[in-house]
Structures are given as C-alpha cells and as structure tokens.
C-alpha cells in the first residue's frame, strides 16, 4: 500500500490558498484514480481518505483535517495502521516558498525547510527519510510569509499553479509506478516558462 498525503488547512476560507496546494494535488489524484468520487471520501486518521488503484499499486490518498501545524498525527496514524514502510511507500505533497510558482521538486528525504506541516510529520515519524513532492508557490517581497501562504494566487500566477498541480499529480503517479529515483529524474526539470510574475497583491 502506498500512502500519498496532501497538506493543507480544512475549511472553505482556505480553499484555493497557496498553503493548500497539497489538497489540490490529492484532489486531482482522486479524480484520476479513486475507486469512488472524491466527495465520497471517508473520515479516518483525522483526515479525508480515498482509496485508489495506480497501475498495479494500491494507494491511499489522505488529506489531514488537523490543520497544517498538526499534520503529523494523521500521517503517523495511517502509517501505523497499514504498517507502511515510510522510507519506500510514503509521499507527502506540500507547498514551497523557495520554489517559483510553476515548478515542482521531488526529494527522497530531507528537513522541513521551515514548513510547519512537514516539521510536524518529521516529529511524528521520528525520521527524515520519506519522499516529498514540493510545489512552488513563489515568495513575495512585500507580504509577510505567514500572510502570503494563506493568500490566493494572483491572476498571473494561477495558470502556472494549475499546470504545476497537474504535473505534481503525474509525478505522484510516476512515484507509485517507478519509485522516487526514476520520478526525480523525470520531473525535477525546470518548465519551459522559467520567469514568474512577481506577486503584487
């Protein structure tokens, strides 16, 4: 069983915000692969869960509802219940301020990079060697980071963001099928459009 976790905050006030890109990617995965519609997700492990089949692999798609800073509890419960080998079968999708909007990066392990959701998962699992897919949201030169991540994409950023969500979903599929090393080689490339409009909101 593979476990793919998309990080975000629950509630309509957070829908479409930069901090919720993990939810956006998991929703796309559910539409592509899920055994039941995304709106039929079950509430388990403190989150919304949908089971899916990716090629020959069974996968659990999880959106923690514990708010970003407490994401670790849901992830640890799912890992423990299914006896998942986190080093091989866990992938976490999260936003990244240090990547330009439109760029994604896969990593086999690492720290939190200042991301509170990833930090909480690191604490809950007690180890850093699990895969993550980082989805770039850019960084504002005028808005504090705490406010920026809870804001919505500008009209200039939105097309880049939508493309990155689809690309991240495809990267998750490749990870399920081929593993982290192969999917990193395929997806850790800059897109054709390398310039990003500055956020001026």
Residue 19 appears among annotated catalytic residues: yes
Structure confidence at residue 197 (pLDDT): 42
Paired tokens of 36: 């039941």
- Which secondary-structure segment (H or E) carries 84? none
Structure confidence at residue 193 (pLDDT): 46
Which residue among 2, 18, 19, 115 is the active-site one? 19
Give the Cα separation of 62 and 6 in Å (integer): 6
Series of mean pLDDT values for 10-residue runs along the chain (201 residues) = 97 96 96 73 91 88 96 97 97 97 96 96 98 97 95 97 97 96 90 44 38
Contacts of 28 (CB under 8 A, 6+ apart): 165, 166, 169
Taking the CB of residue 31, how many other CB atoms lie within 10 A of it?
Answer: 12
Give the Cα separation of 22 and 135 in Å (integer): 8
pTM: 0.91
Paired tokens of 163: 């493309």
Give the Cα separation of 117 and 69 in Å (integer): 5
Q: What is the DSSP letter of 199?
A: P
Taking the CB of residue 74, how many other CB atoms lie within 10 A of it?
Answer: 25
Structure confidence at residue 191 (pLDDT): 56
Q: Are the beta carbons of 22 and 9 closer than 8 angstroms?
A: no
Structure confidence at residue 7 (pLDDT): 98
Contacts of 6 (CB under 8 A, 6+ apart): 21, 22, 23, 24, 25, 26, 27, 29, 61, 62, 63, 92, 93, 94
Residue ranges of domains in the chain, CATH in brackets: 2-187 (3.40.50.1470)
């Amino acid at each position: 069983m593979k476990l793919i976790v998309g990080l975000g905050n629950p509630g309509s006030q957070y829908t479409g915000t930069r901090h919720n890109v993990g939810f956006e990617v998991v929703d796309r995965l559910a539409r592509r692969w899920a055994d039941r519609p995304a709106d039929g997700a079950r509430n388990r492990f403190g989150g919304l869960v949908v089971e899916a089949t990716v090629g020959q692999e069974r996968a659990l798609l999880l959106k923690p509802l514990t708010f970003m800073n407490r994401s670790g509890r849901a992830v640890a419960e799912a890992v423990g219940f299914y006896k998942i080998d986190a080093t091989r079968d866990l992938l976490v999708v999260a936003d990244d301020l240090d990547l330009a909007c439109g760029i994604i990066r896969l990593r086999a392990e690492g720290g939190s990079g200042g991301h509170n959701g990833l930090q909480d998962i690191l604490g809950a699992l007690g180890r850093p060697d699990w895969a993550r897919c980082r989805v770039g949201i850019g960084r504002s030169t005028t808005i504090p980071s705490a406010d920026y991540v809870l804001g919505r994409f500008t009209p200039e950023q939105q097309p880049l963001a939508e493309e990155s969500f689809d690309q991240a979903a495809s990267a998750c599929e490749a990870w399920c099928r081929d593993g982290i090393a192969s999917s990193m080689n395929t997806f850790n490339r800059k897109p054709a459009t390398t310039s990003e409009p500055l956020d001026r909101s």
